[in-house]
């Protein structure tokens, strides 16, 4: 009893192209040929083909099949490396499942970095978009600090700032900046690294600054940007005044 290439491939659950490829790379010996020139495969070819398929199905590359089969000194390391790759892939897929579950539960989570998904309900869309943009430049430590900063209770001022109309009058902007300044000052004290892009970014400072500037301009209106500039001016003035007072006392 002998089988043709097609029959052998069907028995092994593969294709004739694969069988021919194994011949070409030296993994499967060429069989004897019948008088009509057709190949005649036997059970030893079937067993060999099934063994190769079993190893490749486990992730072993064709180039490593001979080493794994022979059990040489490389075989164990090949299998260990493969096991480590599979473990990393399983972990990655488990994270993906958690993120998919979060998105199915709340579509807003798609706009958030993975570790921030629990905050999705509490943040306006603009802030979610900013966070997603910042995740491309900030270090994991800086992102963790940002998450801690945002995890606190959100007051009325946050909602007022998010809802600030682009045509809000000057006095409204100034009052809002004055109310926001102490909170921003405290945030700077709690997380000083976030104020230094050169320290908190995993990209070059110029690239990080371009992301921040473009994101702020894209997702905030002119009134928002004006309030933020006013907050910065208030804090700068306080720092300058404080330094001068300290110098005078000295």
pLDDT of amino acid 53: 93
d(CA 45, CA 27): 11
By the 10 Å C-beta count (0-12 exposed, 13-18 middle, 19+ buried), 59 is classed as middle
Q: Are 111 and 182 in contact (CB under 8 A)?
A: no
For 6-48, the pLDDT digits (tens) are: 999 999 999 999 999 999 999 999 998 888 888 899 999 999 9
Identify the three-state secondary structure at position 39: strand
pLDDT digits (tens, 9 = 90+) for 108-117: 566 667 666 6
Q: What pLDDT was estimated at residue 232?
A: 92
Answering whether pTM is above 0.85, one says no
* Helical packing angle, 16-24 and 43-57, nearest 10°: 90
Q: Say how far apart CA 37 and CA 4 lie, in whole Å.
A: 11
Alpha-carbon torsion angle 55, 59, 64, 70, nearest 10: -30
pLDDT of residue 123: 72
CA angle 26, 29, 30 (to 5 degrees): 115
Q: What is the pLDDT of residues 49-89, one digit of tens each?
A: 999 999 999 999 999 999 998 888 889 899 999 999 999 99
Given pLDDT bands bounded at 50, 70 and 90, which one contains residue 239?
confident
* Number of residues written out for the chain: 250
């Amino acid at each position: 009893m002998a089988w043709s290439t097609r029959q052998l491939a069907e028995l092994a659950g593969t294709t004739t192209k694969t069988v021919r490829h194994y011949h070409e790379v030296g993994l499967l010996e060429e069989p004897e040929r019948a008088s009509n020139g057709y190949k005649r495969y036997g059970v030893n070819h079937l067993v060999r083909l099934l063994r190769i398929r079993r190893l490749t199905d486990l992730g072993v590359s064709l180039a490593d099949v001979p080493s794994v089969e022979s059990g040489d000194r490389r075989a164990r390391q090949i299998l260990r490396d493969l096991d480590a790759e599979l473990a990393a892939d399983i972990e990655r897929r488990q994270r993906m499942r958690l993120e998919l579950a979060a998105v199915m539960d709340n579509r807003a989570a798609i706009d958030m970095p993975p570790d921030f998904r629990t905050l999705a309900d509490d943040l306006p869309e603009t802030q979610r978009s900013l966070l997603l943009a910042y995740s491309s430049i900030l270090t994991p430590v800086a992102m963790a600090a940002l998450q801690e900063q945002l995890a606190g209770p959100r007051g009325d001022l946050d909602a007022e700032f998010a809802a600030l109309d682009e045509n809000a009058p000057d006095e409204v902007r100034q009052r809002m900046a004055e109310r926001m300044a102490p909170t921003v000052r405290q945030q700077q004290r709690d997380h000083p690294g976030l104020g230094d892009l050169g320290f908190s970014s995993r990209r070059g400072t110029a690239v990080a600054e371009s992301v921040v500037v473009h994101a702020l301009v894209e997702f905030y209106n002119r009134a928002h940007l004006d309030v933020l500039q006013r907050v910065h001016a208030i804090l700068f003035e306080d720092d300058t005044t404080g330094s001068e007072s300290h110098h005078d006392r000295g």
